[in-house]
């Protein structure tokens, strides 16, 4: 077992984070806007610029028109399909989305509608999976629909707490679909997560606070100008926390 047996995906909130992921040795990025809302579709310019600059790693784009739930109206699905077309035309290697019914079951019809626009690119079902009922049954449906992977924390707020279900899903998948473990994955716990689950694909943000250069802020404005950005250091450290152990 060595580094080549694993895949590391970085959840990025902009082109700068994408570049840090590439320099840090990641295999793939998931490009998002609206991280505080759980990730929403990035802009045309963000995707286009990321594609131009990511010469060594794969680019996946989240397709999510808003925060909140994963039950989409016909008008929202129409926009999502258009965004998939845009991402493909700009050269994205894959897209990431997920659709549910109000009762927590997979919305197969909505997924099929979007999958019809995904010819030739990879497709991930995102953490809507962690909101669905009967996850093991849902996994079989995703396999049947043709998804390439599912991003999940094992239906917990973080992947370590969801390790038991993640392990079960990994065994159930048996290579038919990739299980991508995400949420709270970092340099402190990635090795533990691997030992508990056996999973080979990991999704993490590797972000650190970036101090704003702005020196003036009116006393009446209380919100912070600080923002979070992926750093090369944390990408490298998280990958090394697992791969260095495997090389011993």
pLDDT digits (tens, 9 = 90+) for 110-144: 999 999 999 999 999 999 999 999 999 999 999 99
Residue 41 is predicted with a pLDDT of 99
pTM of the predicted structure, to 2 decimals: 0.94
**Residue 34 CB neighbour total at 10 angstroms:** 15
Residues of the chain with pLDDT under 70: 221-225, 248
Q: Could you tell me which of 103, 35, 28 has the C-alpha nearest to residue 64?
A: 35
The Cα–Cα gap between 235 and 202 comes to: 12
Token duo for residue 135 = 């996850």
* pLDDT value of position 225: 65
Confidence (pLDDT) at 20: 99
pLDDT value of position 39: 95
pLDDT of residue 246: 77
| 3-209+227-244 carries CATH number 3.40.50.880 | no
Burial of 191 (0-12, 13-18, 19+ CB in 10 A): middle
Kindly tell me the burial class for residue 15, based on how many C-beta atoms sit within 10 Å of its own C-beta (0-12, 13-18, 19 or more): buried
Q: What is the number of residues in the chain?
A: 248
Residue ranges per structural domain of the chain: 3-209+227-244
pLDDT at 89: 98
Helix axes 190-197, 232-246, angle to 10 degrees: 40
Cβ atoms < 10 Å from Cβ of 69: 10
Give me the pLDDT at residue 245, please. Answer: 81
């Amino acid at each position: 077992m060595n580094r080549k047996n694993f895949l590391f995906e970085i959840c990025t909130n902009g082109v700068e984070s994408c570049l840090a992921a590439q320099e840090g040795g990641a295999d793939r990025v998931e490009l998002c806007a609206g991280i505080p809302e759980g990730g929403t579709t990035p802009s045309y310019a963000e995707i286009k610029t990321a594609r131009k600059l990511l010469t060594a790693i794969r680019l996946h784009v989240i397709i999510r028109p808003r925060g909140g739930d994963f039950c989409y109206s016909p008008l929202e699905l129409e926009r999502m399909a258009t965004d998939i077309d845009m991402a493909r035309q700009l050269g994205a290697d894959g897209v990431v989305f997920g659709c549910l019914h109000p009762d927590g079951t997979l919305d197969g019809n909505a997924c099929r509608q979007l999958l019809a626009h995904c010819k030739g690119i990879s497709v991930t079902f995102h953490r809507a999976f962690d909101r669905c009922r009967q996850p093991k049954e849902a996994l079989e449906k995703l396999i049947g629909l043709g998804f390439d992977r599912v991003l999940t924390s094992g239906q917990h707020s973080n992947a370590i707490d969801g390790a038991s279900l993640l392990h079960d899903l990994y065994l159930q998948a048996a290579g038919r679909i990739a299980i991508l473990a995400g949420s709270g994955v970092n340099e402190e716990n990635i090795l533990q997560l691997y030992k508990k689950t056996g999973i080979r694909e990991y999704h993490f943000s590797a972000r650190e606070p970036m101090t704003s250069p702005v020196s003036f802020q009116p006393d009446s404005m209380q919100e912070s100008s600080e923002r979070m950005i992926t750093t090369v250091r944390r990408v490298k450290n998280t990958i090394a926390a697992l791969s260095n152990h495997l090389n011993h």
